[in-house]
Amino acid sequence: MSQDSRNARAAQPAAGDAGTVRVTLTVNGADHELLIDSRVTLLDALRDELALTGTKKGCDQGACGACTVLVDGRRVLSCLTLAAQCDRRQVATIEGLSSDGRLHPLQEAFLRHDGFQCGYCTPGQIMSAVALLHEGRTGSDDEIREFMSGNICRCGAYPNIVAAIREVARQGAR
Amino acid sequence: MRAFEYVRADDIGAAVALVSGDPAAQYLAGGTTQVDLMLKDGILEPERVVDITRLPLRGITADDRTLRVGALTTMEELAADPTVAERLPFARTALLAGASTQLRNMATIGGNLLQRTRCRYFRDPGVPDCNKRTPSSGCAAITGAGARMHAILGAGETCIALHASDLCVPLVALDTVVRVRGTDGERRIPLTEFYLLPGDRPDLETVLRHGDLVTAIEIPLPPAAIRSGYLKVRDRASYEFALVSVAAALTVEDGTITEARLGLGGVGTIPWRARAAEQVLTGAPATVETYRAAAEAELRAPFTVPGTAFKPELARRTIVRALEELGGDRT
Name which of B17, B32, B51 is nearest A62 (Cβ-Cβ).
B32
Radius of gyration in angstroms for the set of CA atoms belonging to chain B, rounded to a whole number: 20
pLDDT of A4 > 50? The answer is: no
Does the CB of B6 have a partner CB in chain A at under 8 Å?
A: yes
- With a pLDDT cut of 90, the percent of chain B lying above it is 95
Q: How high is the pLDDT of residue B281?
A: 98
Tell me the pLDDT band of A72, cut-offs 50, 70 and 90.
Answer: very high
- pLDDT tens figures, A44-63: 999 999 999 999 999 999 99
Q: Convert the pLDDT of each residue in B250-291 to its tens digit.
A: 999 999 999 999 999 999 999 999 999 999 999 999 999 999
Query: What is the third-level CATH fold of B227-327?
Result: Enolase-like; domain 1 (3.30.390)
Helix, coil or strand: residue B246: strand
φ, ψ at A23 (rounded to 5°): -135, 140
Confidence band (pLDDT; 50, 70, 90) for A173? very low
Chain B residues lying within 8 Å of A37, measured CB to CB: 3
> What is the number of helices (H) and of strands (E) in chain B?
12, 12
Of the pLDDT bands very low, low, confident and very high (cuts 50, 70, 90), residue A174 is very low
Confidence of residue A12 (pLDDT cuts 50, 70, 90): very low
Taking only the tens place, the pLDDT of each residue in B198-210 is 999 999 999 999 9
pLDDT at B147 over 90: no
Within chain A, strands assigned E span 20-27, 30-37, 68-71, 74-77, 90-92
pLDDT at A108 over 60: yes
Domain boundaries defined on chain A = 3-93, 105-171
Assess contact for B225 and B87: CB atoms under 8 A.
Answer: no
Question: Which positions 193-252 of B are in contact with A (Cβ < 8 Å)?
Answer: 237-239
- Mean pLDDT of the B19-37 span: 96
CATH topology of domain A3-93: Ubiquitin-like (UB roll) (3.10.20)
Q: Where are the domains of chain B?
A: 1-51, 227-327
Q: Is the pLDDT of residue A5 over 90?
A: no
- The percent of residues in chain A predicted with pLDDT above 70, rounded, is 90
Query: CB contacts < 8 Å between A and B, how many?
Result: 112
**Cα–Cα distance measured from residue B204 to residue B21, given in angstroms and rounded to the nearest whole number:** 19
Cross-chain Cβ contact A85/B14 below 8 Å: no
Q: How high is the ipTM of this complex?
A: 0.96
What is the mean predicted confidence (pLDDT) over A20-35? Answer: 97
**Does 3.30.1360.30 match the CATH number of domain A105-171?**
no
Return the number of other C-beta atoms located less than 10 Å from residue B165's C-beta: 23
The model's confidence at residue A7, banded by pLDDT at 50, 70 and 90, is: very low
- pLDDT above 60: residue A105: yes
Confidence bin at B57 (pLDDT 50/70/90): very high
The Cβ-side half-sphere exposure at A129, using a 13 Å CA radius, reads 33
The answer, yes or no, to whether residue A14 has pLDDT greater than 60, is no
- pTM for the complete prediction? 0.95
Task: Specify the DSSP class assigned to residue B198.
Answer: -
The per-residue pLDDT of chain B, averaged, comes to: 96
pLDDT at B24 over 70: yes
List pLDDT tens digits, range B66-123. 999 999 999 999 999 999 999 999 999 999 999 999 999 999 999 999 999 999 999 9
> Any idea what the Cα angle at residue B246 is, between residues B89 and B260, rounded to 5°?
75
Binary contact (A65, B100; C-beta < 8 A):
yes
Q: What is the pLDDT of residue B90?
A: 98
Q: What is the pLDDT of residue A9?
A: 38
A20-27 and A30-37 beta bridge pairing: antiparallel
CATH code at B1-51: 3.30.43.10
pLDDT score recorded for residue B1: 72
pLDDT at B311 over 50: yes
**How sure is the predictor about B214, in pLDDT bands with cuts at 50, 70 and 90?**
very high
Distance from CA of B156 to the nearest CA of A (A): 29
- Tell me the average pLDDT across A125-151: 98
Q: How far is A70 from chain B (nearest CA, A)?
A: 9
Question: Which among A12, A13, A82 has the least Cβ separation from residue B31?
Answer: A82
Using a CB–CB cut-off of 8 Å, the residues of A that contact B are: 5, 8-14, 18-19, 21, 37-39, 41, 60-62, 65, 68, 74-77, 80-82, 84-85, 87, 128, 131-132, 135, 145-147, 149-151
- Check residue A16 and give its pLDDT: 52
Task: Pick B71 or B330 by higher pLDDT.
Answer: B71
